[in-house]
């Protein structure tokens, strides 16, 4: 897929993977619009990267989605929708039997799954009108093997993975020109994973892998250790489960 000259909308683009993606997309000649809930972070991203267009918007808010669409339409529309925004409720707030567990799970599902569907639906006709268009949905290696510490987060990403596959096949059947990519990252060094001591890759490496996959039209893009993990999970699922859930995680669950 040719990215140069395309207009890309990145949700959760004010920091982390989203902001790095914005920088790298700009560097290869794309026009980039980023959204986020935090206006201060958006302002900082804009100040450091003046070419980025910023729009404050919360993917969990239905009215924000409508307003975002109208603003993007005024700007001339988009060719690529990159659903990068995600939330992970801290495991300390997710005891099995309490109200916070339910509330946290609902919030993760609203942002990580329903928010993606909402934006895909509202932008679909716009994308269909383009000569070449795409949607990128970000899942996770823990959409393939569940995390005991992040059970509801991994469940929301599993739901997104199944939806992504179904959407891709649906659009093929109806002859749509919209390409559906699934990005499956390993653990990435971001604010969300700051407390994790496990092996991580940098956001720079993560985005380079994403762009390479888009250009080669690999509709399932696995970056870094996600490639090896896919093989392990396929042939040795018990081993894959243990890799995601080492014994140290069992101790945290007992606290």
pTM for the predicted model, two decimal places: 0.93
Q: What is the pLDDT of residue 195?
A: 67
The separation between the first and the last C-alpha atoms of the chain, rounded to the nearest angstrom, is 48
Q: Mean pLDDT of all residues in the chain?
A: 92
**What is the average per-residue pLDDT within 109-123?**
97
Q: What percent of the chain has pLDDT over 70?
A: 90
More confident residue, 227 or 194: 227
pLDDT at residue 102, as a whole number: 85
- The reported pLDDT for the residue numbered 89 is 86
| Span 241-251, pLDDT tens digits | 999 998 876 55
- The predicted model gives 26-34 an average pLDDT of 98
Which CATH number does 7-254 carry? 3.40.50.720
pLDDT at 196: 63
Tell me which of 39-43, 131-135, 179-183, 184-188 is least confident: 184-188
pLDDT at residue 199 in the model = 73
User: Taking 80 as the threshold, does the pLDDT of residue 90 lie above it?
Assistant: no
Taking only the tens place, the pLDDT of each residue in 163-178 is: 999 999 999 999 999 9
- Residue 253: is its pLDDT beyond 60? no
The domains of the chain are located at 7-254
Q: Name the pLDDT band for 186 (thresholds 50, 70, 90).
A: confident
Three-class secondary structure assignment of the chain = CCCCCCEEEECCCCCHHHHHHHHHHHHCCCEEEEEECCHHHHHHHHHHCCCCEEEECCCCCHHHHHHHHHHHHHCCCCCEEEECCCCCCCHHHCCCCCHHHHHHHHHHHHHHHHHHHHHHHHHHHHHHCCCCEEEEEECCHHHCCCCCCCHHHHHHHHHHHHHHHHHHHHHHHCCCCEEEEEEECCCECCHHHCCCCCCCECHHHHHHHHHHHHHCCCCEEECCHHHHHHHHHHHCHHHHHHHHCCHHHHHHHHC
Average pLDDT, integer, range 102-118: 94
CB-based contact 245:148 (threshold 8 Å):
yes
């Amino acid at each position: 897929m040719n990215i140069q000259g395309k207009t890309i909308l990145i949700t959760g683009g004010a920091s982390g993977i989203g902001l790095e993606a914005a920088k790298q997309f700009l560097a290869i000649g794309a026009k980039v619009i980023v959204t986020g809930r935090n206006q201060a972070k958006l302002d900082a991203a804009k100040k450091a990267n003046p070419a980025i267009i910023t729009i404050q918007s919360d993917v969990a808010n239905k009215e924000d989605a409508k307003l975002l669409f109208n603003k993007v339409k005024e700007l001339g529309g988009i060719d690529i929708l990159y659903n990068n925004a995600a939330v992970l409720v801290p495991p300390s707030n997710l005891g099995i039997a309490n109200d916070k567990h339910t509330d946290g799970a609902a919030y993760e599902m609203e942002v990580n799954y329903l928010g993606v569907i909402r934006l895909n639906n509202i932008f679909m006709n716009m994308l269909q009108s383009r000569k070449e268009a795409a949607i990128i949905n970000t899942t996770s290696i823990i959409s393939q093997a569940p995390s005991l510490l992040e059970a509801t987060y991994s469940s929301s990403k599993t739901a997104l993975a199944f939806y992504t596959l179904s959407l891709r096949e649906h659009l093929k059947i109806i002859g749509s020109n919209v390409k559906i990519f699934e990005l499956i990252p390993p653990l990435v060094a971001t604010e969300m994973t700051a407390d994790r001591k496990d092996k991580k890759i940098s956001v720079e490496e993560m985005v380079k892998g994403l762009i390479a996959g888009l250009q080669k039209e690999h509709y399932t893009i696995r970056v870094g250790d996600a490639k090896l993990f896919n093989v392990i999970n396929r042939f040795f699922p018990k081993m894959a489960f243990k890799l995601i859930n080492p014994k140290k995680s069992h101790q945290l669950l007992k606290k």
